[in-house]
Structure 1
Amino acid sequence: MQEELYIAFENYLNNEMTLEQKNAFENQLQNDEDFKKQFELYKETNSFLEVKFSKETSDFKENLKSISENHFANSTKKKSKVISLQSKWFAIAAMLVVFIGVWYLNQGTNPSYSDYNFHNEAHFVERSEGNPDLKAAQDYFNAKDYQKSSESFAKIDNLTNPEVQLFYAISLIETDKYSKAKILLENVSQGNSVYKEEAIWYLALSSLKQRKYDESKKYLKQITEDSEKYSSAQKLLNDLE
């Protein structure tokens, strides 16, 4: 039981035990105070990771579980020196602490897209008369339903209006469709509309979201002092450098 503690905790939390195993596990929780404390500590750590991290946590836990299973299996086969329950648990806890520290360090290195994705509301049409798809795209965008917004934009024929292209591109960035967004934004940025530099700003934000930091800086440096995005661009540049 000592060697399979971590796997037992995982199996119990994931409801992967047989009824007999579950009853035995819960009986030990009630009668073994040390076992209960170890389990509660593990559960709290597990909950913390699930709240703070998403895919990284899942990948890390899978790797850790695989390492633990292999380690325990090899230890049993070789009949090596038995390591105490407490030592094994603190080894696992130490690995979790290292993971958390690395994650925080990485997060603090560069700014995040979510720090800058504050979008103006779209106001193309007042009523649904004329082009219901455009009205739907506008309303979904303002409701922050970017998936449905981008789907509505895609139904519009002859989409040549720079303002509409800009908001369509923003919806695409929000739904991680970067290549199509880039085509639209570059088209607007190469024109002479009032949305020219705003399109460059979103090219920079799209690169930021993809963690293409050098590319993002390249676009930010193209934004002129006359643009309303200039101060934001300078701040982001400063954060990136």
Structure 2
Amino acid sequence: MAHKVWSGIAAGVFCLVAGVDLATPATTVPTAPAASSYASTSPYAPAAGVGVGGADTTSTQQVSVLEVIDGDSFRTADGLEVRVLGIDACEAATAGGRRATDAARSMLVGATVVLEREPGVEDDRYGRALRYVTADGRDFGEAAVVADHTAIYTDGRNDASPTRQATLRALDTNGRTCAALPTSRRPVPVPDPDPDVDRPATRLPAVPDPAPAPSSAYYKNCAAAKAAGAAPLHTGDPGYSSKLDRDGDGVACVR
């Protein structure tokens, strides 16, 4: 009898516990959200290595400058054409452009520079890489806008960050002067009015020897010519006379 009682109690406890378990919701283990699949066809979408929100894992690179194209663009040794981001130099064909190009060459040619991306900005419409440029520890754009041949870029959309633009605007106190050379520069030499100065000299015509002056000498005879030390007399000599040249050979008073 006692065995049956304890068996009944045990069965009741089991049913109670089972009922509690079935009534309690199952615990859910949290899982990590799926990775973002950011993709955009915008020309200003982040480049490879640039994460969503501007996290740039490949924002800078070192390159060697091969040649300067003008005051705000250059070509690297590996063939990359770079347009300096945020600035606008005078066109190369102007006087200001020549100054800007000379300044860029002195700072960049042959140097190893650091290119820095602006997150979300890659190339301009000509396919040139838009980059901030640092040469020998100096920001090239900031150094350029201080001069009067380069200004902050305003001809359309400036893709530099607002902070960079504010810095450039504060430094750009004189804008651009592209057409005229400053008064301190040496004036352009006046062209030579005679473009043929280097041609061979023209030989002047030969001037004939002047005709001998009429002779004022007169010898009465050969004795007088010999006494004067003029004999013998040849045709054309002062004092010559056919009267003194008896044989007519052109020589008078031989003896």
Same fold (TM over 0.5): no
> What TM-score results when the alignment is normalised by the length of structure 1?
0.25
Larger radius of gyration: 2
Greater per-residue helix proportion:
1
> What TM-score results when the alignment is normalised by the length of structure 2?
0.24
